[in-house]
Chain A
Amino acid sequence: MDLKQIHELIKIINKSNIGEISIEDKDGKVTIKQKEEQVINVAPPQQVYNVAPPVANIPQQAPAAPAPATPAAPPTPKSDESKLLTIKSPMIGTFYRKSAPGKPNFVEVGSEVEIGTVVCIIEAMKLFNEIESEVKGTIVKVLVEDSTPVEYDQPLFLVQPS
């Protein structure tokens, strides 16, 4: 483990509620402790959600390709449909906009996304896939409802490139 990694680790720990951490690898052992007062901000035990199985009875009609007549979302009046980028689903599964029920959506209309920003989760056979954007820009439209099935290559978001 080098100094840069230790430095990064301290940053993570500072942001977390970890009291103490020890890392051991073949080169040796590092222990980092947080001061007591920084640790008290422990999150309450997570609420238990009785999640209904993600069954969608309504057959999901593939969202129509962005209708050319529909102007994009209000925050970007200058947006020109032809210049918009589409984030598509890399797989078949169930589309989720948040990491868990009760959590905020990963992105909203108006959110800035970078390359690598997680925009949604697609679940397939209990594997939860965080999908990262490969474009940079502003979300102008969310094309799919939360907790509904998506197909391979189905458009999920429209992005105004920046």
Chain B
Amino acid sequence: MSSNSIIPTIGERLIELSSIDSTNNYALQYIKNNLAEHGTVIFAHEQTAGKGQRGKSWVTAPNSNLTLSVILSMRFLSLPKQFYFSAAMALAVQQFFNNYTANETVIKWPNDIYWNDRKAGGILIENSISEKGIWNWAVVGIGLNINQTQFPDWLPNPVSLKQITGKTFNCKALAIELCYYLQTYFALLRTGNFQHILALYNHNLYKNNCRVTLKKNNELFETNIIGVNEEGLLITKRDATTQLFSFGEIEWVIPKKQ
């Protein structure tokens, strides 16, 4: 696209792998070997040990899902603004997926991709940070269920693009299209218009302004989601009391599909 611009476009350099344990690990290794370049995308047709957060696995069969990691140079952004970055990346993936799903795709806090009450994908962000607090690199790992129609039983509520649309997709073509969205939202982040990003995020937030059931310390309670604040905390309101929650503090109880 813009090969003569100073900052490479996301996906301009695309590393295509037939099979890999985890695209995020591969990208992190690239950074450790000083080979990282901003915008480099690692795309795998098959992921044998994909990473969810803290060791949860995310395994994909060949060509059934979209798995890629993008390496981004983050020195322009300070650490307290990390959530805006996470929000921008979630928006990119959600908007891309929503293109195919008639406005039914939303972001489940903090960055899962949901279609109605079902999970279509997730994002795992791993950063390289110096002890002095300089954010050198981000690796954004994206996994989206595309052509898969059978899922393991332990997944509570998965859904794929094929189940939604009835069509089969070319994952690499989708990956290239997704890069365009990532580029757009990364550029928006670079403009520094953080309030706009947060407003868009809240506009596309799963169950925003709805009553939900949350679980904290093994206790269930009902509350209303009011939105997410600039630090990424979930804002809830029960009766007249506003309460903020950080990720990991609560569990979200989602009705299992029939």
Contact = CB atoms under 8 A, between A and B. Distances in A.
Contacts of A11: 33
Interface residues of B, number: 55
Interface stretch (B54-62, B113-121, B192-200, B204-212): B54-62
Interface in B89-135: 110-111, 124-133
Classify the secondary structure of B's interface with A. mixed
A18 B46 CA distance: 11
B131 A19 contact: no
A66 B136 CA distance: 30
B131 A134 contact: yes
Given A43-B49, A51-B54, A125 B127 contact: no
Nearest to B136: A132
A23 B55 CA distance: 28
A45 B79 contact: no
A49 to B, nearest CB: 4
Given A45-B48, A129-B127, 7 more contacts: A17-B21, A21-B18, A55-B248, A91-B133, A102-B55, A125-B86, A127-B82
26 contacts: A5-B35, A20-B18, A21-B17, A23-B15, A25-B13, A26-B12, A46-B21, A46-B49, A47-B55, A49-B54, A51-B54, A51-B56, A54-B248, A55-B248, A90-B79, A91-B133, A96-B54, A100-B54, A100-B55, A101-B55, A126-B247, A126-B248, A127-B126, A128-B124, A129-B126, A129-B129
Interface of A: 5, 8-9, 11-12, 16-26, 42-43, 45-49, 51, 53-55, 57, 87-88, 90-91, 94, 96, 100-103, 119, 122-135
Interface of B: 3, 12-21, 26, 28-30, 33, 35, 48-49, 51, 53-57, 59, 79-80, 82-83, 85-86, 110-111, 124-133, 154, 217, 231-233, 246-251
